[in-house]
Structure 1
Amino acid sequence: MREVLVKNEEFKDSPVGKIPQDWEVKTLGDCAFITKLAGFEYTNYFDYSQQGEVIALRVLNIRNGVLDLSDIQSIPRKVSKQLSRSSLGKGDLVISYVGTIGEVALIEEDERFHLAPNVAKISPNPEIVRSRFLLAQILSQAAQKRILDLSTLTSQPALSMSRLRQLMIVLPPIPEQRRIAEILDTVDEAIARTSSLIIKLKQTKTGLLQDLLTRGLDEHGKLRDPQAHPEQFKDSPLGRIPKEWDVSDVEIQFDITAGFTLGEHRRPRNNKRKYLRVANVHRDEIVLDDIAELEAEDHELSSRLLQKDDLLIVEGHANPDEIGRCAIVPAEAVGLTFQNHLFRLRCKSMNPNFALAWLNSEWVRAYWRRLCGTSSGLNTINRTMLNAIFVPISTQDEQRSIVAIIDTYKRRIRTEEAYLNKLKLQKQGLMQDLLTGKVRVKSIK
């Protein structure tokens, strides 16, 4: 027996539109038990300071169909057992119902999770609907729209349990539910593997970058080893660096220019000029999706036109980790100008991509975190601080070799990210086809 996807031609009308003849529509309350954490349970029993063995799932722990456990609170197991109605077991679903509405995920372990406020439990009746299929149904665009329609949209969006129970779910026969879930699981597994690989590649790149920018490469293209050959290194303001290297600073190594100060006089009228804003300058990448315009005369513009391989540095940001983020100007951005919350750095002799790597390095990021000032919630840096940043100087050949290694990792990461996006689009298409019955899963001999 093998399974194939077949375009369906036979449909019938239903409360949610056309569905296959042998499918049905039920409310979520008809095919699952739904409950939430009671107010008295939270008030009388929850004390996160106890840090128990059971994770209390909050809204922030549910993201894009999976659990995000990067920030957790927990309760003792004995408390979870006392509150059995709101405890979670394998096969249950959790869904957010206040604030961020409709985030849903599947529980795959017993006795590890418990409901927290603003998260509801959905326990499917396995004779009517399978957990993984129900997860896919609730994540679908159609179900998410129905959830939004059932919600109360005020300053704090909310979905009551009674309304959640009214959510209409499209149900194929159980065998087809299982096959649909298996197909989507296969794509999910590929997405998870690729996402994990991207994270590992980025971690490896970060660690390697630190080594490349402090140890450099010897004449054989290998990382110098400060443990095996301490005689090859010397003390410097940057710590131990290769003896052949020098230490300079930004003021010496770059021509620095500030961008246009925005205001009413810059509202585009007769001399419209496209310019880059802080939002266009990500770390290591210029994003050209949304380009604004300003007013500037030719004589004002000439000194602020961007050239290929110019560097742009962000001067102010609410997040201190984003201060000083740097990107290199690609060919597509040549001829644009830039706003005053960006500094343009033009290399005098350094390899621009080597300079980019250094200015985004952990050493420079730590420098900005130490020195940046805060005004009205905005962290800022100034020209004096920028000028004073130390810069390692190696030979041009070594800089090129270091950049080549970095570029190899960047290309691999970009390739995997493109593949990840392709998988996500593939899943969207499959969900649209399989969960509406436009395409059926058939078993053939």
Structure 2
Amino acid sequence: DDVIEKTRAQIDKLKDLKTGMMQELLTQGIGHTEFKDSPVGRIPASWGLVTLEQLIGKLEGGVSVNGENRPKGPDEIGVLKVSSVLRGKFLPNEYKTVLSTDVDRARINPTIDRILFSRANTRDLVGESAYVDKTYEDLFLPDKIWMLDVRDRLQVNVRWLSYILCSGNIRRAISDAATGTSGSMKNISKSSLLAITVPLPTLDEQKNIAKTLEAVDNELTGSTARLHTYENLKKALMQDLLTGKVRVKLDSPEVAAA
């Protein structure tokens, strides 16, 4: 229990660290001393301002296919749920197994070095986005998730853009641009998304910012994996105790010696 609590505390600290670092790095950059006011807040004087349309060259969505809530078999494919894109993370296990009658309709795999974007969700979750670090040939996009690619990798670092899309100011802009009569579901159009203004550092600074934040993300991933291991081990031990597979020795060494 002590190890589990310490690991949870470490995860909470890392989350707070990441939030603070994102706010600082994505608005103040690295090593700047001169700043200017802009429509997106105070930013380094050397940074530019662009719309997402100037950065994003390709934006494509999947299609709505019928699926079942069960693990897919070796020869089956999955369609992602909107819950697969959450808090800046891509969760590839959040999918439905596509029915055999709909397999031919599925299109667009999550692809390495792209960004997934939730175009329709609740007000709090619409606009959630996540970086894709590998290609998943057995998974496909639904109609409510877009995949974004940049216009020019010599000007824009994809991972940096993924962090910008998750930053507080941009998330608020996305949420404000979302529309919908339903109280539970909001949508954002391509034109509204691409019209949003973001600050633009040099490519080298983008890479350095992304590398710094990625290091914290890796620490978080490792700590979370360890926590799951500890929790599963605890559950297994408790089960063994309850079923009698493992017995607790109540006799202390002193009693045994007596």
| Fold agreement, TM-score > 0.5 | yes
CA distance in 1, matches of 2:109, 2:175: 30
1:4-403 mapped onto 2 (5 Å cutoff): 188-218=1-31, 224=32, 229=33, 232-262=34-64, 275-289=79-93, 290-293=95-98, 294-296=102-104, 304-318=108-122, 320-333=123-136, 336-349=139-152, 350-376=156-182, 377-403=184-210
SS of 1:322's equivalent in the other structure is coil
1:422 aligned residue: 229
CA distance in 1, matches of 2:229, 2:164: 32
Contact kept, 8 Å, 1:311 with 1:356, in 2: the verdict is: yes
Contact kept, 8 Å, 1:249 with 1:390, in 2: the verdict is: yes
Q: CA RMSD in A?
A: 2.4
2:240 aligned residue: 433
Tell me the CA shift for residue 409 of structure 1.
0.6
| Structure 2 residue identity aligned to 1:354 | W
Tell me the CA shift for residue 296 of structure 1.
4.3
| Structure 2 residue identity aligned to 1:372 | A
Contact kept, 8 Å, 1:259 with 1:337, in 2: the verdict is: no
Deviations 1:96-142 (A, max 9, x none): xxxxxxxxxxxxxxxxxxxxxxxxxxxxxxxxxxxxxxxxxxxxxxx
| Structure 2 residue identity aligned to 1:325 | E
Tell me the CA shift for residue 334 of structure 1.
5.2
| Structure 1 residue identity aligned to 2:57 | D
CA distance in 2, matches of 1:331, 1:408: 18
Deviations 1:160-195 (A, max 9, x none): xxxxxxxxxxxxxxxxxxxxxxxxxxxx22212211
The 3 A distance-change label for structure 1 pair 419 and 305 is: closer
| Structure 2 residue identity aligned to 1:313 | F
Contact kept, 8 Å, 1:316 with 1:380, in 2: the verdict is: yes
CA distance in 2, matches of 1:409, 1:351: 18
For structure 1, the residue ranges without an aligned partner over 5 or more in a row are 1-187, 219-223, 265-271
Deviations 1:390-417 (A, max 9, x none): 1221111111111111011111111111
CA distance in 2, matches of 1:273, 1:429: 32
CA distance in 2, matches of 1:202, 1:192: 15
| Structure 1 residue identity aligned to 2:179 | G
| Structure 2 residue identity aligned to 1:322 | L
Deviations 1:410-438 (A, max 9, x none): 11111111111111012112212233443
| Structure 2 residue identity aligned to 1:366 | R
In the comparison of the two structures, how many residue pairs are matched? 235
Deviations 1:258-306 (A, max 9, x none): 3234268xxxxxxx97543423222322222235434447xx95xx454
Return the structure number with greater relative CO, CA threshold 8 A, min gap 6. 2
Which has the greater radius of gyration? Answer: 1
Tell me the CA shift for residue 441 of structure 1.
2.5
Contact kept, 8 Å, 1:282 with 1:325, in 2: the verdict is: yes
Tell me the CA shift for residue 315 of structure 1.
1.0
Q: Which moved more, 1:434-443 or 1:346-355?
A: 434-443
Q: What is the percent sequence identity of the aligned residues?
A: 31
Contact kept, 8 Å, 2:62 with 2:146, in 1: the verdict is: no
Tell me the CA shift for residue 359 of structure 1.
0.3
CA distance in 2, matches of 1:332, 1:414: 19
The 3 A distance-change label for structure 1 pair 255 and 335 is: farther
The 3 A distance-change label for structure 1 pair 250 and 273 is: farther
For structure 2, the residue ranges without an aligned partner over 5 or more in a row are 67-75
| Structure 2 residue identity aligned to 1:233 | F
Tell me the CA shift for residue 314 of structure 1.
0.3
CA distance in 1, matches of 2:144, 2:188: 10
SS of 1:257's equivalent in the other structure is strand
CA distance in 2, matches of 1:288, 1:306: 9
CA distance in 2, matches of 1:343, 1:391: 19
Tell me the CA shift for residue 249 of structure 1.
1.1
CA distance in 2, matches of 1:278, 1:362: 20
